[in-house]
Structure 1
Amino acid sequence: MTKRFWAIFKARNLEFFRDRSSLGWNLFFPLLLVVGFAFIFSGDGRAEYKIGLLGDKPAQSRFFELEHVQYVDYQDSELAQRKLQQHSLDLLVEPASQTYWVNKSSPKGYFAEQLLIGDLPDYHREVLDGREIRYLDWVLPGILGMNMMFSCLFGVGYVIVRYRKASVLKRLKATPLHAAEFLTAQVLSRLFIVLVISGGVFVACDWMFDFYMLGSYLDLLLVAALGATAMIALGLLMASRSHSEELTGGLLNLVSWPMMMLSGVWFSLEGAPAAMQTVAQFLPLTQLVDAARAIMTDGATLVDVQQQIWIMLAMILLFLGLGAWLFRWEGDGR
């Protein structure tokens, strides 16, 4: 059993690394994205002011009805102040105590403060300081997560359909190889490839741009492995029976585009409609990106992101279980 598993695992890795076009795309596409964002979004990448609120808005106050300002509600004062220190907020206001906090190193915070004291001069001022999280720092987990998503989904889905269409799976069925061994080898092979590629891109980009990293690299690696496994399992599920590359491609796009748009890759979902945030929680990329950002920018531990970890583990079991149950060597109609 071990020899059969290792033979499939080794063959799949050699097939990938010998395909120079696929290897080059997986290496340089995310790198080019990060470099591009570094120059395009040299500032914080936002076009509007973002003000945190601790408590309810007071009535009859122009400051809390300004246009081009996003107001975000917070229940946790410590979390909100950390967001302000990291320049994720421009100003933090607590109407009940008539207190506001400003980051003295934030230019946008200065102008937001002028707007506040122009309308509410009696509010008490508190000053915080902290290293700015650039938009590049914030978007990095999303870019790497998105690249992992495409590699996981299409790297497994298309390969299995191609094997089935070329009768490779039909020939493998005649060998002592079991379906569980084949699927496990495919999952672990793709996981190995994704982690090696993403790890190399992360190290290269970190060397060039000195990313904001407060948490443990080991925790980040574990979260990345769980998220990648969940998306590999989803790709396996999408390709469990089909002969058609076109159909499989459509199914993979059907699950990848919502993840790319709703998983917080490019923008935060804070302040988004509740229904959108609920849908996003059912996407594996959302859990991966949220956990990775918490580790990198907030210094979170595995205990702090255990909710995302448990959700990703549940997704892995669900997708792998369904994929193994639905898997056919020859597919439907053969």
Structure 2
Amino acid sequence: MPQSYSQFKAFGAITKAAFRSIAKSPSSVVFTIAFPLIFILVFGFLGGGGAKAVKVTLAPGADTANALYAALQHIDLVKIQPQAPGKTLEQRLSKGEVNAVLDIRKTGGTPAYRIGIRTMTADADKAAQLAAVLERVALSQDADAARRISELIAVEKTTIQSRKFNTIDFILPGQLGFSLLASSVFGTAFVFFNLRQSLVLKRFFATPVRREFIILAEGCARMIFQLLGAALIILVGRFFLGFTLVHEVVTVINMLLICALGLLVFMSFGFIISGIARSEATIPPLSNLITLPQFLLAGTFFSIDAFPAWMQPVSRALPLTYLNDALRQVAFDGASLWDVKMDIGILLLWGVIGYFAASRVFKWE
């Protein structure tokens, strides 16, 4: 009696063949590993050296209607940052968005000003730098420069225990996210377009293998390859560049689970492009329409809070923004998957939209 055809054996064989094809592709290796590591190394080493301005935000209720604050706005060594709705001061301090929280109070007596400086332990030197600047400004406001500084201002420093937020803690998740996006979109689009054009898909139809197993096998092969590349990038960052992984192995597992979700979502964009592309030459420009805006606007290199106010809603609509944000929260803050449920939910919503569109335009022949 002949054995029944095994869809799972066919699935395994196609997955194995697809994985070998991806691993042998120079473009896959470049997009998945080489480019992210190069950007991580370049931008990871740009953060050090030189005297830098202290990024300061004001505490709620701080007095800004005084000569001391007015003079402080013209000091190059101090950059006063606007408030960030939706974020606590501790969150902004811990992420390095600001170095200190400044509270200025005019007393009307002696000392003339009481000033509070709240900072993280990692930015203790910035607090000292800010205090020195305030003393110089206060002396410049008084005609009798010989007066004791204690009669002008009283500075109180509050230090919050924290981990140091390094440049690599921001750059690595952004580069990892973009690697997943670029590889998924370009790789999926080219693979299925070429399979259709070379009539490989048509030949598959002559076999008993079901269509969904063909797609699942190709997707599974890309998923395995991309997650191996992601794990390599995370480990290189951890052991060679000081990337923060709060809960070590648990953090790595959570990051890879988020990466897997991101891959599923981003592959839907590749399916859409493979369905609407008229020739292989049209795939790169169509893919760039999806990847390039996210590369620039989704917080890959800089926090989207640094963008103009009119641009931030655009950034917050992009799926890569939420992948990057979830990866950073899990890695540096030690957040669980439940803690980043909003980011995951928005990624899932994009996945539903993407696969619905892909089902309308994807072609088998």
The TM tier, using the shorter chain, reads 0.7 to 0.9
Correspondences of 1:41-60 after superposition (within 5 Å): 41-42=47-48, 48-55=53-60, 58-60=64-66
Q: Which runs of 5+ in 2 are unaligned?
A: 1-6, 106-113, 139-151
Matching residue of 1:261: 296
Q: Go from structure 1 to structure 2 and tell me whether the alpha carbon gap of 1:71 and 1:238 turns closer, same or farther (over 3 Å shift).
A: same
Correspondences of 1:174-323 after superposition (within 5 Å): 174-215=206-247, 216-323=251-358
Say which SS state the counterpart of residue 259 (structure 1) adopts. helix
Matching residue of 1:102: 119
2:58 maps to amino acid: L
Q: CA deviation at 1:37?
A: 2.9
Q: CA deviation at 1:285?
A: 1.2
2:169 maps to amino acid: D
Structure ID, larger Rg: 2
1:102 maps to amino acid: T
Q: Go from structure 1 to structure 2 and tell me whether the alpha carbon gap of 1:114 and 1:82 turns closer, same or farther (over 3 Å shift).
A: farther
Q: CA deviation at 1:25?
A: 5.7
Q: CA deviation at 1:31?
A: 2.3
Choose the corresponding residue for 1:112, options 130, 139, 161. 130
Contact 1:214–1:297 (8 Å) recurs in 2: yes
Q: CA deviation at 1:123?
A: 6.0
Q: CA deviation at 1:74?
A: 4.3
Q: Go from structure 1 to structure 2 and tell me whether the alpha carbon gap of 1:192 and 1:86 turns closer, same or farther (over 3 Å shift).
A: same
Deviates more, 1:67-76 or 1:253-262: 67-76
Q: CA deviation at 1:291?
A: 0.6
Percent of aligned positions with the same letter in both sequences? 26
Paired with 2:235 and 2:260, the residues of 1 have a C-alpha distance of: 16
Q: Go from structure 1 to structure 2 and tell me whether the alpha carbon gap of 1:102 and 1:17 turns closer, same or farther (over 3 Å shift).
A: closer
Does 2:82 match 1:72?
yes
Contact 2:31–2:179 (8 Å) recurs in 1: no
Q: Go from structure 1 to structure 2 and tell me whether the alpha carbon gap of 1:2 and 1:307 turns closer, same or farther (over 3 Å shift).
A: same
Matched pairs, number: 328
Say which SS state the counterpart of residue 127 (structure 1) adopts. strand
Q: Go from structure 1 to structure 2 and tell me whether the alpha carbon gap of 1:270 and 1:47 turns closer, same or farther (over 3 Å shift).
A: farther
CA deviation profile, 1:49-103 (whole Å, cap 9, x unmatched): 42233436734531564476251314678x4225425544211134689643134
Any runs of at least 4 consecutive aligned residues in structure 1 with deviations exceeding 6 A, and if so which?
none
Q: Go from structure 1 to structure 2 and tell me whether the alpha carbon gap of 1:105 and 1:289 turns closer, same or farther (over 3 Å shift).
A: closer
1:171 maps to amino acid: R
Paired with 1:171 and 1:125, the residues of 2 have a C-alpha distance of: 73
Choose the corresponding residue for 1:89, options 65, 86, 98. 98
RMSD across aligned positions (CA): 2.9
Does 2:70 match 1:62?
yes
Choose the corresponding residue for 1:39, options 37, 45, 56. 45
2:90 maps to amino acid: Q
TM-score norm. by structure 2 comes to 0.79
